[in-house]
Chain A
Amino acid sequence: MPDSGSALRRDTGEALLAVALPALFLVTGVLLPLELAFPAGPLMNALLPPMLLGVGSVGYAVDRRLTREHASAFVAKLREAILILASSILSGWLLLLLTNGPPMPLARAASTPEFWVWLSLIAAQWIFSAAVYRALAKRALFRESIERWGHGDPAAAYRDFAEEAGEALAALRRIRRIVAFFAIWSVAAALLIEWILGRRLGTVEELLIALAFLLELAVMKPLGDWEREQTLMGEGIRVSENDRLTGSAVAFLLALPCLAGAILLAAAPPLLPQSLIAAFFHWLASLFNHPLRTTAPPPPPAPPPEPLVRPELLKRLAGGPPPPPSLLLEEIMRIAGRVLVALLALATLWLVVHPLFRPRSGKPRGPVALLAALSRKAAALFRSLAERLASFGSAVKAAGEAPAGGRLRAIIAATGAGRRNRRALPAGSARRFARSFLKLVQWAEGKGVPFSPSMGPLEYARLVATRVPGAAPAVEEVALLFERNLYAPMPLSADGLSAYYEKIRTVTRR
């Protein structure tokens, strides 16, 4: 089993993506106090990217290690949720800080609408990052399983690890829906800024939003390739190891600052020379003669919608003096930006909706059937949400009867038990049974006892006994039970299985 250092993925793209959650939290937790105490400005900002990478890599490795330490699913999700929330708040605060000049108390920042717009976008983006990260981890697990067990036959590998492949595919499909949702969200953010906040989106902002949109969609192609790859493997066709997904994940990560830039420019914070990030956007905007405001003005009344092509330009093109190249370029980019955003919005809508047109039976649905399908999906979603809320509510109620010290544990346990965990297998299933032994193997490998699939269970247990004498009796007992269940004429009884799983839990906690 690779140690925490070697758990770092060679693929930088995946590392960057997986870095996002814990890294930003760590960096903002360190950088922010420093910025408050020593507003060094450009130097600190210049150090930000390498610090993000460096600390984030460590955070990634730690997070992977924690994942491998068999943290329960609830704890892992709770950790992610906390990281998302904290990083969202702190990153929003930090960026406002960097671009607004002197340190701004959180309370004051929270009174600005820009902050909340920013916060919601950041939170949404990080949630998506978490989903992609999880999907990548599942995919890595699937690949690791294949490499580990040395399958030369792709179809056999797919069959043996169908569950892992299925989980990865399910995560993949979830991501595609989320990507489509966030692509629409990017466009909605533009509309939000224009109509609700009353800011006028300029060319630069539109281009940045369009770029963010494109980058998000850039993830869709490799996701499709991945799904096709899984299907081909199921048919016994070996596919190339070329992995473009993580590269696209990097592209997606870049969508974030694009959106950030768009929001910042549209919200028009005062730009101070010492902020490199702000200076960059200032320079970018200056290329298009973008009128940057230096103070936060009161929300202006919503202006009338602009025509697609400005009248003065039309006049010039119709016969007047030729427009200057910069004006022409600006106008072309403005038009292109709006058209592109509109096209991409339509494309996203199609991406979200079109699977409903192609059900498994292969026959296209009519409008009535489509509406019925949409209604059923919406009803199922609400029902699921209601079930989860009810489960959580009853867990909280039940926890009220628990001793004070165990209330949180009781809530976690009750919520976990009430949730539909699609990853949990029946106690007697062969897959779960085999996996449980592999947990023991992973634990033993962590103690430095290498495993080979050519070793018998008892053989391996005796090897473990030589290296970890304290665990010898328990490990040997586990191996004996494992062999009995697999090779004896009668498998273990329910009690025997329970004892087996309990023994494994006891051993792997050492």
Chain B
Amino acid sequence: MSGEGREVEAATSPIAQWVRQAVQEVGRSFRGRSEVIELALVALLCRGHLLVEDLPGVGKTLLARALTRFIGGVFRQIQCTPDLLPADILGVSIFDQASGSFRFRQGPIITNCLLVDEINRATPRTQSALLEAMAEGQVSVESRTMKLPDPFFLIATQSPLESEGTFPLPEVQKDRFFLSLTIGYPARETELEIMRQPFEEEAGDPEGGRETAWRVIEMQQEVTRVHVAESLRDYIVDIVARTRVEPRLAMGVSPRGSLALYKGSQALAALRGRDYVVPEDIKEIAGPVLSSRLLFKPEHAARGMTPLAYVEELLAKVRVPGYEG
């Protein structure tokens, strides 16, 4: 993504206007990193989920809260610990002494926006329960199936630092997230501004929650209608295909990844006010979408090659279609 303060182009389209408003509103709480907000919105518009791999205290919770408030949904947060059970997330049946029967109590996953903090501290079993819900859009507990609300947006975080007592998400599980990003430290001026005005008015109108949530669903449907030229589909496949034959990689990008790249470019084009995708959209979203889906062989990982650097190198090698005529 480009640097801070990037303006949304051609703000005449409904999605572009909505995104501009979102960036503005959410940016009042989560200051100085509009590109992160845009990426989160891309994941939301593509009905995907977000993985944030970053250090503590950079504003992950703040982002999730501000985003949820803007879209007018219900926000829940789960702090993962090693003793967290799947039932703590999905829900559990509790015996009601008054009625003499079991009553199902929904877990925090039944929400519009769920922040799962430090997912790498939860056990693999608990992680699987979450990821299954992400993939299926519903949860099954004690022979009871419950559909998750719409829109449902999950933001998971994991710290890249700690390794003891953690269960890092394996790459095959990371593939289920639409894109991954890092927030990073804010710029100096932004940090000074945060210190001057640490608390901002919370974004969003609680009274208009339902209406805004319907709006998100409409936007999600609108995004799927963004045109992708045949040559650009080939371009996406070319990019992904190269990762599968790259000798430095133990695992290339899956078809789920190519689909994510496809949808992400559509969402980005819509953000920019266009009803068609251009190569720059694909290149811009490729890093966040593909980086979490690549697994380097140990010898190359040890040499300091990062997924983002590899994606940049890859994009510099693949020809953009259209110059031949």
Spell out A's residues near B (CB within 8 Å): 149-150, 160, 429-435, 437-438, 452-459, 482-484, 486-489
Contacts and interface: CB of A to CB of B under 8 A. Distances in A.
Contacts of B58: none
B275 A488 contact: yes
Contacts of A435: 325
Contacts of B245: none
B320 A437 contact: no
Contact of B278 (A430, A433, A456, A489): A456
A456 B280 contact: yes
B318 A487 contact: no
A145 to B, nearest CB: 10
Most-contacted residue by chain B among A453, A455, A486 (CB, 10 A): A486
Interface SS, B side = loop
B319 A150 contact: yes
Interface in B287-325: 315-320, 322-325
B227 A489 contact: yes
Contacts of A488: 227, 229, 274-276
B275 A487 contact: no
Given A431-B325, A486-B229, A487-B322, A458 B316 contact: no
Contact of A438 (B231, B274, B316, B323): B323
A489 B276 CA distance: 7
Most-contacted residue by chain A among B229, B318, B320, B324 (CB, 10 A): B324
Contacts of A458: 278, 280
B283 interface: yes
B279 interface: yes
Given A150-B319, A454-B315, A488-B227, A459 B324 contact: no
A434 B325 CA distance: 5
A483 B320 contact: no
Given A459-B280, A486-B231, A488-B275, A454 B325 contact: no
Contacts of B154: none
Interface SS, A side = helix
B97 to A, nearest CB: 63
Given A433-B325, A438-B323, 10 more contacts: A160-B324, A454-B318, A456-B280, A456-B283, A487-B227, A487-B229, A487-B231, A487-B322, A488-B274, A489-B275
B251 interface: no
Contacts of A456: 278-280, 283, 320
A456 B285 CA distance: 14
B259 interface: no
Given A452-B316, A454-B316, A489-B227, A149 B278 contact: no
Contacts of A454: 315-320
Contacts of A433: 325
Nearest to B269: A487
Contacts, number: 67
A429 B318 CA distance: 25
For the complex of A and B, list the 7 residue pairs with the smallest distance between their C-beta atoms, beginning with the closest: A434-B325, A456-B279, A431-B325, A430-B325, A489-B227, A456-B280, A488-B276
Contacts of A459: 279-280, 283
B156 interface: no
A154 to B, nearest CB: 15
Interface residues of B, number: 22
Contacts of A453: 319-320, 323
B232 interface: yes
A149 B321 CA distance: 11
B281 to A, nearest CB: 9
A18 to B, nearest CB: 28
A28 to B, nearest CB: 44
A455 B284 CA distance: 12
13 contacts: A149-B323, A150-B319, A160-B325, A430-B325, A431-B325, A454-B317, A454-B319, A454-B320, A457-B278, A486-B229, A487-B277, A488-B229, A489-B275
Given A453-B319, A454-B315, A487 B325 contact: no
A441 to B, nearest CB: 8
Interface string B223-236: 00001010110000
Nearest to A157: B324
Contacts of B323: 149, 434, 437-438, 453
A426 to B, nearest CB: 12
Given A486-B229, A489-B227, A432 B320 contact: no
Contacts of B315: 454
A149 B318 CA distance: 11
Contacts of A434: 322-325
Most-contacted residue by chain A among B232, B283, B320, B322 (CB, 10 A): B322
Contacts of B278: 456-458, 483, 487
A150 B275 CA distance: 32
A430 B317 CA distance: 24
Most-contacted residue by chain A among B275, B277, B278, B318 (CB, 10 A): B278
B318 A432 contact: no
A492 to B, nearest CB: 13
Contacts of A489: 227, 275-276
Contacts of B232: 487
A457 B323 CA distance: 9
A438 B325 CA distance: 10
Interface string B259-275: 00000000000000011
Most-contacted residue by chain A among B279, B316, B323 (CB, 10 A): B323
A457 B324 contact: no
Contacts of A429: 325
A456 to B, nearest CB: 4
Contacts of A432: 325
B267 to A, nearest CB: 16
A437 B321 CA distance: 13
A489 B230 CA distance: 10
Contacts of A437: 323
A497 to B, nearest CB: 14
A95 B278 CA distance: 63
A456 B317 CA distance: 12
Nearest to B324: A160
B322 A486 contact: yes
Nearest to B281: A456
Nearest to B230: A487
Nearest to A441: B323
A457 B319 CA distance: 12
Nearest to B322: A486
A434 B283 CA distance: 21
B320 A455 contact: yes
